[in-house]
Structure 1
Amino acid sequence: MSGRGVAVTGIGVVAPGGVGRDAFWAAITAGRTATRRITFFDPAGFRCQIAAEADFDPAAHGLTPREIRRMDRGAQFAVVAAREAIADSGLATGDLVPEHTAVTVGNAVGCTMGLEHEYTVVSDSGRSWIVDHEYAVPHMYDYFAPSSLAREVAWASGAEGPTSVVSSGCTSGIDALGYAAGLIQEGAADIVIAGSTDAPISPITVACFDAIKATSVTNDRPAEACRPFDAERNGLVLGEGSAMFVLESTVAARRRGAHVYCEIAGYATRANGFHMTGLKPDGREMAEAIRVAMDQARLGPDDIDYVNAHGSGTKQNDRHETAAVKAALGNRAYDVPMSGIKSMVGHSLGAIGAIEIAACALAIENDVVPPTANLHTSDPECDLDYVPLTAREHRTDAVLSVGSGFGGFQSAIVVAAPGEVRA
């Protein structure tokens, strides 16, 4: 990326298996899967009855009764993660100059849980075609407007600069970080609170994924259900969560003595113009996004130490991105470790890209590559090093993370240890 370096100085995470940055990292490096039978509603009538749910108590994480009443679960995730990121950065909210502080939140499906719950109430569980709005919560309008997610983070952080929602399906998290980095580079903001959030585990979402048969039906063994790159995989597992970051210029971060996890070195996105949910097997558009992101970072294939895979656990996606990584990295693709954390935390749609970037930043911080859980027998068409089952100590200075989303979106981002980015 041209212009000023963009540093990540704070990380906050709410994820299945671990609420909080440290708990999240401990869970994924231990290879623990968070998938279980859905508890938010009775899933008995659904094809897929499992999901990766976060054990999240909003009151225990500092939200007031008013905030809990007002916010959809996805907004609660984002606010809690943003507060952790700000505290981690060493900045207090009072240190932020409001008009120079921006907020960017990625999201795919809006306030799904809030909307579905309120529709159930006002329609008497669907029995009333003509509904009485007076039975709804006073803040129901917020559930219709995904912009409320960014607004809540802005209110919580005291930000009065550019505030936006990036919604590009399952690449929203990567795209939000890429857009936020651009705000720092062009001087539109000194600080950006950026990341993504989604809480999609509701009957309507499960029904939609049932209809296209994209989700796993390993209902009797939830912990083994999501198996990216495994020959026996049978679909993805829905998840939920949020990851938020504090971004600032590298120069400003060093000036104030901040700890820098990594720099956002390159970002690109492409669309395949092909199919709503289908993917071309050659991975050409993802490969192009990878090449552009590496070019912006001034890094070549040999400089990439780890690839964080989209790794959804569907045959179409796993083969598509395997081909894309081969096309973009050449022979280096066979040597660089590549793993998929959705095997442990599920696919949280718009949130997952940011959660995966948190994993990348922590991989750089700790020189450890998280594993791909449940990978016992590789698909012969997926023949790269997917770090099966066990985390690996590995010098990790530059990381590539990729995402693929419904609608044909293909995004790539490169994050690198401080000093790795070439001037």
Structure 2
Amino acid sequence: MTRRVVITGMGVTAPGGVGIPAFWELLTSGRPMTRPITLFDATGFRSRIAAECDLHQAAHGMNTGWLDRYLQFAATATTEALHGSGLNVVEEDEWRVGVVMGTALGSAALLEQNYVVMSDGGSKWELDHQYGSPHLRLAWTPSMLGAEIARLCGARGPVHTVSSGCTAGIDAIGYAAQLILDGDADVVVTGGAEAPISPATVGRFDAIGVTSSRNDDPEHSCRPFDRERDGFVLGEGAAVLVLEELRHAIRRGATVLCEVAGYATLSSAHHMTGLTTDGRVLAVAITQVLNQARLGPTEIDYISANGTGTRQNDRHETNAVKLALGQWAYSAPMSSIKSMVGHALGASGAIELVAAALAVDRGVVPPTANLTVADPECDLDYVPDIAREHRVGVALSLASGFGGFQSVMALRRPDSGRGETSRP
């Protein structure tokens, strides 16, 4: 019997909104969260702005102890996702519950902080381990993200951490869905987490000139698809989803939010940071997803764009959608929530997938903020500035990453009689 994968719970830690209600209110208001960086002294950097999370552990009942910042984001989102799904792992076959999480940098910020301390601000070649965190060894282990979420959940099935750069979040969810389709798990807790706002990361992006330098007007700095854009804005956060095999969800009386209808990931094999203008590889990935889901182009009601706000990405993504959907590309609304919450690298694909799932569930398409001057090379319907009521039966979520990664996922409203939508 064919297995199907559905979403029954979601949790988010994002700039301007910890939790689904706050996150959705932020997106539908079209309010950008970019501000001057407060996590470190950014004086002297080319780009001194970012979209930071405001996570108060006590306010959310968390006891995260030694956990690195990105793990705190993930733990908070996981707690919300499990609560929203009504899943109690103790009542499940724990060997059939898995975890797949994605991150690009993992504990890179914590490693950087410890290096600064142990090297006396970089003045000493030999590091003094006495000044390092007692938990530093864990920061060297990327698998810690999956392991910590499994510990939090009590999951003893397959546990993995995916690190495929900026597509890590969506790739983790795609891999999680495949575990269920293959019969290796009935439930998988999955998503992505990232805390990249640190001197080393900001400096790396400064060096290649891909981040916005509109420091005097941070709120309007991230402008996907706009003629006046000058680069992306770093963000941070986490998003976690509970995926279940459909019959398993129905048996326990879970509310089905939407179905994972297809997933594909390909490599452009072109350039470490560059993208082809024609978008052919991303277009092929979209087509593969449509074929998996047995959908035609005209059945796509919304596209959650990668939408970084760089000229290269925006042209690439626009042309990919045109290649894959043909004339329908001009009819399907498409928007970028990075304009509001920034680019959270490995977590961005998961955060954007949650936004797409909410659009399916609630019949509202989030806007692209700061889109005021149309770019002639980007001529699709990017839902500028104002959220739009729009029935979304099928949504596509797109992701691109350094290294040439191109990933796509399709979400579909639950079939009639197979579950009802709800509002977490």
What TM-score do the two structures reach when normalised by structure 1? Answer: 0.97
Change (3 A) 1:62 1:97: farther
Specify the SS of the correspondent of 1:321. Answer: helix
* Aligned mates of 2:126, 2:407 — CA distance in 1: 42
Answer yes or no: is the 8 Å Cα contact 2:97–2:188 preserved in 1. yes
Q: Partner of 2:240: helix, strand, or coil?
A: strand
Structure 2 residue matching 1:60: 3-state secondary structure: helix
Aligned to 2:317: 321
Per-residue CA deviations over 1:52-102 (Å, capped at 9, x if unaligned) read: 0011112322222xx33x211111111111111000001124223321110
Measured against aligned partners, the alpha-carbon deviations of 1:271-316 in whole angstroms (never above 9, x if no partner) come to 0111000011000000000000111111110110000000000000
Q: Does structure 1 conserve the Cα–Cα contact (< 8 Å) formed by 2:267 and 2:281?
A: yes
Structure 2: segments with no counterpart, 5+ residues: 419-424
**SS class of match (1:266):** strand
Q: What's the counterpart of residue 216 of structure 2?
A: 220
Aligned to 1:355: 351
2:374 corresponds to which of 378, 388, 412: 378
User: Quick one: which of 283, 287, 292 aligns to 1:291?
Assistant: 287
Query: How does 1:126-141 map onto structure 2 within 5 Å?
Result: 126-141=122-137
Q: Distance in 2 between matches of 1:167 and 1:95?
A: 31
Task: Output the CA distance in 2 between the equivalents of 1:252 and 1:145.
Answer: 33
CA distance in 2, matches of 1:285, 1:376: 29
Q: Percent identity?
A: 56
Match of 1:99 among 95, 102, 120: 95
Check conservation: 2:162, 2:168, Cα contact below 8 A: yes
Cα deviation, 1:203-236, whole Å, max 9, x if unaligned, reads 0000000000000000000000000000000000
Match of 2:48 in 1: 49
Residue deviations 1:149-187 (CA, integer Å, cap 9, x gap) = 111101100011110011111111111111000011111
Q: Distance in 1 between matches of 2:43 and 2:415?
A: 52
2:250 corresponding residue in structure 1:
254
Question: How big is the alpha-carbon RMSD for the aligned residues of Structure 1 and Structure 2?
Answer: 1.4
Query: Partner of 1:245 in structure 2?
Result: 241
Say whether the 8 Å CA contact 1:17–1:32 is kept in structure 2. no
What do the CA deviations read for 1:346-391 (whole angstroms, capped 9, x no partner)?
A: 0000000000000011001110000000000111000000000000
- The alignment covers a number of residue pairs equal to 418
1:58 aligns with 2:39: no
Runs of 4+ aligned residues of structure 1 deviating over 3 Å after TM superposition are none
Structure-1 residue corresponding to 2:8: 9
* Distance across 2 between alignment mates of 1:84 and 1:252: 20
User: Within the alignment, does 1:230 sit opposite 2:226 as a pair?
Assistant: yes
1:377-422 CA-partner distances (Å, limit 9, x unpaired):
11100000000000000010100010110000001100111118x9
| Structure 1: gaps spanning 5 or more residues | none
What is the aligned partner in structure 2 of residue 20 from structure 1?
Answer: 19
Contact 2:89 2:97 in 1 (8 A): no
Counterpart in the other structure of 2:365: 369
Which amino acid is 1:49 matched to? R
Match for 1:198 among 189, 194, 197? 194
- Residues 309, 402 of structure 1: 8 Å contact kept: yes
Contact 1:96-1:158 at 8 Å conserved across structures: no
Matches of 2:130 and 2:95 in 1, distance apart?
Answer: 37
Q: Secondary structure at the match of 1:247?
A: strand
Q: Whole-Å Cα distance in 1 between the matches of residues 390 and 115 of structure 2?
A: 49
**Aligned-partner residue type, residue 25 of structure 1:** W
1:75 aligns with 71
Contact 1:3/1:186 (<8 A) preserved: no
Instruction: Find the residue that maps to 2:42 and give its secondary structure.
Output: coil
Q: Specify the code of the residue in structure 1 equivalent to 2:18.
A: V
